[in-house]
Structure 1
Amino acid sequence: MRKSFDLPLFWRVIAINGAVFVVGTAALALSPATVSTRVVFSEAIVLAVGLTVMLVTNGLLLHNRLAPLDRLSRQMSSVDLLRPGQRVSPADAGSGGVAALVASYNAMLDRLEAERSASAAAALAATEAERARIARELHDEIGQSLTVVLLGLKRVADQAPPQLSEELELIQDSARASLDEVRRVARRLRPGVLDDLGLLSALAALASEFTENTGLPVRRGFAPGLPALDPQAELVVYRVAQEGLTNAARHSGASRVELSLSRQGDAVVLRVADDGHGLRGAEDGAGIRGMRERALLVGADLRVGSRSGGGTEVRMVVPVRPRAEVG
């Protein structure tokens, strides 16, 4: 390891200023120029030129040393841990104390991104576990209780006098609608079809349910022969597609939506696009930031932007990880 004898930044500035003034003083002392008791115009010009040269030289030398600090400051003000890979290039830092500062800053970002990824993974895993628990309780407890209520109402309706039949039928319809809503909520919380039938069937069911609930048609395009994803990546793809469709229904004012899965080399590409009014420069909301956090968990590249023909496009490229890396 090479030993460094670089001075702190403060002493570097002092040294640069001192060197410039020493050189300027020596130049004036050794030059034939003299200054009268009362400075004449020609002497004033010489002094002004000398001062200008010293200032310009000092500015150029300081700029060379301090410019990387300006770049580092701009980077610090715009860094977003949900957009990994933002670093200050070591080539732009020069050498010495500034280079060490840039290296420390980049190492800090590496550590923060790793810690955020780990904490986000733990938080999202806990969220999914809680979703699964609530979905089971809705299905097994509330769903079964409503089923018992429906069966009881049917028995009562069969034995009730005709004047009560219409009222009992309305109560049955209300209970049946509540049971259907409980089942829909349970499916949204934990898509059982994803575990039972796989990602493509889950996305197809999601699109059908979306159209049924919102009236927006969804054009589906699932390429054949897609590489298999691990369970965590499949869940991320499903949740991002779910959030993309939800945003299209709530915010875009779209008349149709596209949902597709395709292959790009050894990666799977999810695309959710609509023909609405686009983002219009809006900041990322909680939904988009949630999608970015999920994408980071599986090393996916997520991009959300406006389409050239109008509307919004969510595009996520999910790498296929070797089985040894899964878990």
Structure 2
Amino acid sequence: MVTTQDGARSSGLSERIAGRALLFVALTGVGVAVYAVSVVVLGPQVPVHGAFAVLVGGAMAAVLLLARDTAQRGVDWLLYGDRRAPERAVLRVGRRAESAADPSGPVDALVETLAAALRLSYAEVVLDAGPADCRVGIPTSRVSEIPLVSQGRRLGTLRAGRRGEPLSRPDLQVLAGVAPQLAAAAETVRLQASLARARERVVRAREEERRRLRRDLHDVLGPALAGVGLGLDAARSRAARDPAGADALIVQVQDEVRECVGEIRKIIEGLRPPVLDDRGLLGALQQHADLLTTRAPALRVEVAGAVPPGLPAAVEVVAYLIGQEAVTNAVRHAAAGRVTVTLTPEDGDLLLEVRDDGRGLPADPGGGVGLGSMRERAEEIGGSLAVGPGPDGGTRVAARLPLRAAVAVS
């Protein structure tokens, strides 16, 4: 019985035998052709003997050596592609990346081009975030792995192999040269998918907000305003014959109007916390901290940092809601005695960090509603959220919110 590895070795041996056979046939053909031309052209005119025969033999040997090198390069290209010219393979992959018609599938195009350029039996990109679904061939017995790194962050691995033999050093040089392009393509695909998800969440949240507004206006304000209208009609009809009764109805209608104003304020506060317009982001977070410390005198909450001028409204709202939720979670779930909130502008982003000295994250934090909500809010404006243990214990919540990307959302 032949195992997979034995079959791969046999296949690789067959390829090497085929390569030598092609080279032998090519050299034989060239030698016969040169000899035939020499006999046909020079034979009738110049007698080949003595020193001239040596000269002709040397010329034929030089031609055969040149033919051998040319034939060897041709056979290597047929079997191994552009591994002797790494820059050519990298250029082919780069051109394929530029001409990829489908922006969502550049990784597939690059892997296919790489496999064709190096005559690979197997090539695959495996992303750490999940399967890339871009594989050519089936895994061989010997697979080489090249890490894919973009902006200092590992994204995945490029796996490649050739049947029956390990990849040579020129092959690995080509793979190392192509890896940055594959990493950039994989990062582009990841960002496009993240952007699509964020847009979908924004649209969904907008539709949910519209439904909520419609429900509040229809179910709460609609009947209340209708009651106000009926009360005014009743007061008007009573005014002439029963002024005291009409006055009592007007007082009742005034109370109903005040209730309507209160409902309108609730709706407005649901759209944007008014404290942001009154006190700004730092002041709003400080007000929330003061509220918590008033209820728990032993608690200490510090708010520090700076806010860049012209802060987009979307970033302001998201930063406030994330900070508010993080501080509340630290007090309610982690039993923290001290919480620190820091805002820092950095490289076109706003960094929000909340640290506490509580008991830290549970062994299996799971996907709580609070954490999921904070992460979704950050991603909706193109940001990110990281939650983990703090350097001195407790929990650290860090949100990076891009200011430029949020301008369009605002």
Q: Is the 8 A contact 2:305 2:343 kept in 1?
A: yes
Higher relative contact order (CA 8 A, sep 6+): 1
1:121 aligns with 2:114: no
The match for 1:309 among 385, 392, 396 is 392
- The code of the aligned residue for 2:126 comes to L
Partner of 1:285: 368
Q: Distance in 2 between matches of 1:213 and 1:101?
A: 54
SS of the equivalent of 2:308 reads coil
Distance 1:200 1:319, change over 3 A: same
- The code of the aligned residue for 1:296 comes to E
Give per-residue Cα distances to partners, 1:102-125, cap 9 Å, x unaligned. 999766544432220101122333
Partner of 2:76: none
Q: Is the 8 A contact 1:241 1:272 kept in 2?
A: yes
Distance 1:207 1:139, change over 3 A: farther
1:250 aligns with 2:332: yes
1:309 deviates by: 1.2
Distance 1:250 1:92, change over 3 A: farther
1:200 aligns with 2:282: yes
Q: Is the 8 A contact 2:339 2:354 kept in 1?
A: yes
Q: Is the 8 A contact 1:131 1:189 kept in 2?
A: no
SS of the equivalent of 1:252 reads coil
The match for 2:356 among 247, 267, 274 is 274
Partner of 1:20: 13
Figure out how many residues of one structure are paired with residues of the other and give that number.
Answer: 233
Partner of 2:126: 72
Q: Is the 8 A contact 2:318 2:377 kept in 1?
A: yes
1:243 deviates by: 1.6
- The code of the aligned residue for 2:203 comes to A
Partner of 2:311: 229
Partner of 1:153: none
Partner of 1:148: none
For structure 2, the residue ranges without an aligned partner over 5 or more in a row are 1-6, 21-118, 133-152, 162-173, 223-261
**What pairs up with 1:64-213 in 2 under 5 angstroms?**
69=124, 72=126, 75-76=129-130, 87-88=155-156, 109-127=190-208, 190-213=272-295
Q: Distance in 1 between matches of 2:397 and 2:218?
A: 33
Give per-residue Cα distances to partners, 1:47-73, cap 9 Å, x unaligned. xxxxxxxxxxxxxxxxx968853x617
Larger Rg: 2
1:294 aligns with 2:377: yes
Q: Distance in 1 between matches of 2:339 and 2:216?
A: 28
Tell me the TM-score normalised to structure 1 length: 0.53
